[in-house]
Structure 1
Amino acid sequence: MKVELKVFSAVSLVVVLLFGLLPLNGAQAEPMEGAWDGGQALQRSMNNGFDPWVAQSSNGNKIVVWIESDAAPNYFLCFSMYTPLTGWSWPETLAGNWGGNIMSNPQVGMSDNGSAVVSWIAYGWEDHVYSRTFIADFGWGDTFDHGQTASINSKEYRLSVNGNGDAILAHESFNSTERSVAVWTYHAGSGWDAVPEVLETVPLATDLYYVKAVLSDSSRAAAVWQTIDSNYRVMVSTRSVEGVWGAPEEIDDAGTWDFTTRVGIDDSTGEFMVTYSKFETPYTNTYYSVTDGGIWSTPMPVAGVTESNCWNQNMVMNRLGVAVVVTTEYINPGWNVNATFYSNGEWTTPISIATNLTGLFYPEVAIDDLGRAAVSFTIEDDRVVSIYTSGDGWTEPEPVEADALGSTYSLGSISLVSDSILVGYISSYGVGTIWASLFEAPDTNAPTLLIDQALTSDTDRPMFEITGTTEPGATVDVNGRPVAVSASGEFSILVELSAGENSLVVVATDEAGNNATKTLMVTYNDPLPGLEERIGDQQGAIDQLQEDLDAANDKIAGVESTAMMFGILGVVGLIVAIVALVMMFLRRKG
């Protein structure tokens, strides 16, 4: 069903502040192939879990981090890691905060090889931001202290990890006289810089709010925040490929506090985008600005939509510059969840993914480099996800927590990487329990298959060895004959050749049934052509010689004459010589 975009007057800014959105038209599509796993409870046996955050890598590894408390209460940063071969690991603790001092707002990102960076806030005499890094094949590093922070929740600081394993962490630091927007940089293989980049410093009387940041694979980066004095300034600073941060620029006056500021990077062009919510009595609209040659454009309403009761907006951009903005809009008596895409300087017509909702938690959104997107939010007690694919549009929102007990009306986190969607959320049934739901499209990719030998070759040996590597878990056969494969995917086999041209077909099959095939053409040049046939022709004579030899042995056993014995031995020697000659040829053949 399509829902036409409409404009409505404001109901109450207080109500809008709680939920919020921007309007869109709606079209539903047939579901993507694939299925949700129903959810997996990950929590340890503590008292209460909250603040889940998820990430994935392109190699199939995944991680969920969250905070748990016990009855004391003490607070603990926990994680569970997933690999395609082992599934979810038993939850482990990364850090703790004892004596009733709270920990909260963990975030995590993963590189393409499965390394990860985790950050969190710990409260006490002073509030600090901390981080730990996980290096694939090595494990967890030590805790790093990023210093005192005034960023009190996940909407006020941001960790971003790129595919190379580099990271930035942006937050509001402060001391007794001033506060600053500080950005720490992590270099894969060497660690965090000794000091952060300070983008803006203001007196304590001036507020800095809602710091967000993003890092691209090219090492470009950007940060956006609000500087609040007598105005509500939307500020942004960008970093070049060389690692140089530019001076902060004011994009607009948003007219109110805005925790929804977002920034994206088009790595294909080096341009940037900022989105934010702007209060224009009596409406709250979503605005954006983009760079052109490094110059920020005049702010405009996203998709041209104005006069909307929209407060909560969320934007993500892929490396090719395609962005999706998801908003929530109050239209009495319910809420709509809307989405619109930006590509090549144009916005698509807004689409309503869901309408007339009576209960709604902030949508989270993810996008991949193919332009596929996924949005997760809670409708009353159900955690749902809608998936977008080009040509099909948005699917109907589908519950993803079939196996979870209790209400999933909570904040969540979402990641979309390599045909896999991962959602983290809370299921409340007396206490909060951390859950993760996984959607994986059918695996249609052939396994890797590397052969060490040339695909065309000649040999004068009758046995030919094939060695190679495939992906772990795959099976291999050669001309239908099974081959042993190691846990790391290595294999080898000896194949008997026939004289002339031999076609050796190597097939690797993964756990999903996909296969990869390589054919080797091996020509066997027989050094003694026809020997086997000639030996076959003389088999009768050889058999007769064997009978004569046996008879001679019997006679030797009973002979008494020395002369006769030597005569018989001469015959036996002749027979043995003939048999030895035949065997010698056979060995040369082999």
Structure 2
Amino acid sequence: MKRVIARIVVVTVTGLLGATLVPAQAGAAPTWRPVTNLFADLSAPGAQTPAIGADAAGNSTVVWSRYDGSGTVVEASYRPVGGAWSAPVVIATGAQIGFPQVAVAPSGVATVVWRNAEPDRSTVQASSRSATGTWSAPATLSSDPSRDLSSRPDVPQVAVDAAGVATATWSRFEGAPGQPWRFTVQASTQAADGTWGAPVDLSPAGSPARTTDVTIDPAGTTTAVWAAGASLQAATRPAGGAWSTPVELSGTAGPRANPRVVADPAGTVTAVWGSFAGGAYGVQTASRAPGGAWSAPLDLVRGEVFDTPAIAVDRRGEATALWQQNDGSGWVVASASRPADGTWSTPALLSDGASSSWDPQLAVDLAGNATAVWSRGAEGGGVVEAARRTSVGGWSEPIALSAPSNALHPQVAVDAAGNATAAWSRKGDAGWIVQARGLDAAGPVVDEITGAAATRTSARARAYSVRAHDVWSRVASARWTFPDGTTATGTSVSYGGTGGSGPVRVVLTDSVGNATACTYTGTFTCRPTTRIAPVIDRARLSTRKIRAVGSDARVVKKAKAVVVLNTDARVTFTFRKVGGTGKPVRLVEKLEAGRNVVAVRARLGARKVLTPGRWKVVVTAKNKVGTSPRKTLRLRVVR
């Protein structure tokens, strides 16, 4: 099965004030939206291999290739925030097109690249969508004599800078007699008028250079990576400058290294790739600070690993890597992260090997919240699953996004506030179709607040109104608080109090519970708020056996209860002895959003002792808004 990882686009936004929200924090209540009865069909049958991008505001673009009965077309669908997916637009036609890639700038300008295999040649082409929504005619960037899959170079990749100017990379088949695997990595960059420059050779002539990727940092420095046999190589180009001579990052790249590369806001570049050394596969990584040299390659994992890693980075410079490995029972998705100037964490497993997982994809928002998607074997066919990690916590349990009927090729993108869009291809009765769902992770975006700021005591009623939208749901409520403490609800209200001067506050909540708090004093500022009911994303015990008070049993004295919360809350552990009739024992802790660790001993307090036997532990979280669904754990106290 052919697997190709699409570009991961991390959008960087500045000037977050007024009508623009700051990135969503851990207080949000991320919810996958059931669009059109679970999912939205974006394409007609015959469509596969989608790619996806989102701009800073949350407008989403999905592209795919589709066989229309006579040839292949590249199509796109666009969803404005709070709106519906558009009917597909045909961008290009060709004999054989697969795996189009898309990059979207913060402004919404989108660029798509693809390879079109004609009867006598293979061409790399591109098209861009302007801010007005019009796609340009396809531009041919390169042509080579490849005619079939055995000699066709790999999928082109694309990245855009903050202004929306794109750079594409690809491998060109040279077709030299006696050298069937001679390829050259090339790159082309758009000019200010949108035209593409002549291709530039990045790799040495005569090398088997393939599987490229490209990224652009905020200063406009472009970095390309590729594999040339066992050599993993990279080249850079400063804004307005020329490409550097390639440097080698590793001499143990895998047969299909599939390198991925990202740049953080400070300009530090991090790459990951599949490796093969000492008879074992693995995933390696290296980084380069601005103006510096690449670090020595570091193993993230070594063993039975598939060479399709993914990587993304947040505004703090924390990088997160994702890959697929075999844990002995099947293929699972694993992840590790590295803070800026820090070290990589121990890998964590996101899925289990009961049925194998494939094609892991990753996106990270500005605040560091990560969303991972993959395809997993299931009864009735493959299903696309997702897991989420908050910026301060661990990964949630996976949830299914698609129906179980051969759902493959998942992709995911996030906007500045953390809302995500996932897309995949699913085989139905009439053929393959592209579908999508959205993750509502942030509260409403406030467009405007109007009113008369309270500047003096007045008995005359003053009118206030707020205009807002939500990316994936609707604005469900608006609650106002005035300087004298009185309140009102609605998007348009009247205040006739005499509370004197002071700010007016309004909290808006969307239909899934995400909230935004704004302060108005003639101008307004907004922030996410944690005024939502708590949810326990994960609760587990490090061990199910602990030692009783006074016992010398050869088991640990305490267990570590790991609780991951979506918001700050008071968490209650209720211990009920199985088969017992006594009163339950309770342990109450005030915990913060994210990952928390609570020690559980047989002696919980002066009069709180867990006697030997089996105990059921019910975990609930509560705040002023509501109480979470319960989680149930099991514990045995050994005499």
Instruction: Decide: shared fold, TM above 0.5.
Output: yes
What is the correspondence of 1:219-258 to structure 2 with a 5 Å cutoff? Answer: 219-228=220-229, 232-254=230-252, 256-258=254-256
Q: 2:202 aligned with 1:195, yes or no?
A: no
Higher mean displacement: 371-380 or 326-335: 326-335
TM (norm. structure 1) is 0.69
Q: Secondary structure at the match of 2:114?
A: strand
Separation (CA, whole Å) in 2 of partners of 1:164 and 1:368: 19
Out of 295, 310, 328, the residue aligned to residue 314 of structure 1 is 310
Structure 1 residue aligned with 2:436 = 436
Structure 1 residue aligned with 2:168 = 169
Structure 2 residue aligned with 1:518 = 520
1:341 Cα offset (Å): 0.3
Structure 2 residue aligned with 1:102 = 96
Separation (CA, whole Å) in 2 of partners of 1:311 and 1:481: 57
What is the correspondence of 1:150-299 to structure 2 with a 5 Å cutoff? Answer: 156-175=155-174, 179-186=183-190, 190-203=193-206, 206-228=207-229, 232-254=230-252, 256-268=254-266, 270-292=267-289, 293-299=291-297
1:283 Cα offset (Å): 1.1
Separation (CA, whole Å) in 2 of partners of 1:515 and 1:321: 27
Flag structure 1 segments of 5+ consecutive residues without an equivalent: 1-14, 20-28, 486-492, 522-590
Give the AA of the match of 1:114: G
Higher mean displacement: 131-140 or 371-380: 131-140
C-alpha contact 2:257 2:307 (8 A) present in aligned 1: no
Give the AA of the match of 1:94: I
Q: Over residues 357-394 of structure 1, what are the superposed CA-to-partner deviations in whole Å (9 max), with x where a residue is unaligned?
A: 43332211112221211211111121101111133300
Cα 1:357/1:415, change in 2 over 3 Å: farther
What is the correspondence of 1:121-520 to structure 2 with a 5 Å cutoff? Answer: 121-124=115-118, 125-148=120-143, 156-175=155-174, 179-186=183-190, 190-203=193-206, 206-228=207-229, 232-254=230-252, 256-268=254-266, 270-292=267-289, 293-302=291-300, 305-309=301-305, 311-343=307-339, 344-380=341-377, 381-401=382-402, 404=403, 406-408=405-407, 410-417=408-415, 418-430=417-429, 431-441=431-441, 443-445=442-444, 447-449=446-448, 470-471=467-468, 514=516, 516=518, 518=520
1:497 Cα offset (Å): 11
Give the AA of the match of 2:436: A
Out of 102, 106, 111, the residue aligned to residue 105 of structure 2 is 111
Cα 1:216/1:453, change in 2 over 3 Å: farther
Query: Which has a greater percent of helix?
Result: 1
Q: Secondary structure at the match of 1:296?
A: coil
Separation (CA, whole Å) in 1 of partners of 2:169 and 2:137: 20
Q: Rg bigger for which structure?
A: 1
Q: Over residues 514-565 of structure 1, what are the superposed CA-to-partner deviations in whole Å (9 max), with x where a residue is unaligned?
A: 56453569xxxxxxxxxxxxxxxxxxxxxxxxxxxxxxxxxxxxxxxxxxxx
Cα 1:226/1:497, change in 2 over 3 Å: closer
Cα 1:298/1:62, change in 2 over 3 Å: same
Give the AA of the match of 1:312: T
Give the AA of the match of 2:107: N
C-alpha contact 1:449 1:508 (8 A) present in aligned 2: no
Q: Over residues 99-136 of structure 1, what are the superposed CA-to-partner deviations in whole Å (9 max), with x where a residue is unaligned?
A: xx211111112122222111222110221111111112
Q: Over residues 67-103 of structure 1, what are the superposed CA-to-partner deviations in whole Å (9 max), with x where a residue is unaligned?
A: 11133x3211111110124311122222222xxx211
1:200 Cα offset (Å): 2.1
1:300 Cα offset (Å): 2.2
1:242 Cα offset (Å): 5.0
C-alpha contact 1:267 1:320 (8 A) present in aligned 2: yes
Q: Secondary structure at the match of 2:434?
A: strand
C-alpha contact 1:476 1:506 (8 A) present in aligned 2: no
**RMSD of aligned residue pairs (Cα, Å):** 4.1
Give the AA of the match of 1:433: I
Separation (CA, whole Å) in 1 of partners of 2:233 and 2:457: 69
Separation (CA, whole Å) in 1 of partners of 2:349 and 2:156: 29
C-alpha contact 1:57 1:110 (8 A) present in aligned 2: yes
What is the correspondence of 1:553-572 to structure 2 with a 5 Å cutoff? Answer: none
Give the AA of the match of 1:62: S
1:220 Cα offset (Å): 1.9
Q: Over residues 171-220 of structure 1, what are the superposed CA-to-partner deviations in whole Å (9 max), with x where a residue is unaligned?
A: 11355657432111135x521343233312413xx321111111233212
1:66 Cα offset (Å): 0.8
Higher mean displacement: 307-316 or 145-154: 145-154
Give the AA of the match of 1:317: V
1:31 Cα offset (Å): 11
C-alpha contact 1:183 1:197 (8 A) present in aligned 2: yes
Separation (CA, whole Å) in 1 of partners of 2:518 and 2:91: 41
Separation (CA, whole Å) in 1 of partners of 2:210 and 2:323: 20
Separation (CA, whole Å) in 2 of partners of 1:258 and 1:245: 24
Separation (CA, whole Å) in 2 of partners of 1:412 and 1:314: 13
C-alpha contact 1:171 1:183 (8 A) present in aligned 2: yes
Structure 2 residue aligned with 1:537 = none
Separation (CA, whole Å) in 2 of partners of 1:252 and 1:157: 22
Give the AA of the match of 1:299: P
Cα 1:398/1:30, change in 2 over 3 Å: farther
Flag structure 2 segments of 5+ consecutive residues without an equivalent: 5-25, 177-181, 524-639
Q: Report how many aligned residue pairs link the two structures.
A: 469
Give the AA of the match of 2:99: N
Cα 1:312/1:510, change in 2 over 3 Å: closer
1:463 Cα offset (Å): 11
Cα 1:308/1:520, change in 2 over 3 Å: closer
Q: Over residues 207-255 of structure 1, what are the superposed CA-to-partner deviations in whole Å (9 max), with x where a residue is unaligned?
A: 2111111123321221111123xxx211101223454432110122125
Cα 1:164/1:332, change in 2 over 3 Å: same
TM (norm. structure 2) is 0.64
Separation (CA, whole Å) in 1 of partners of 2:518 and 2:445: 5
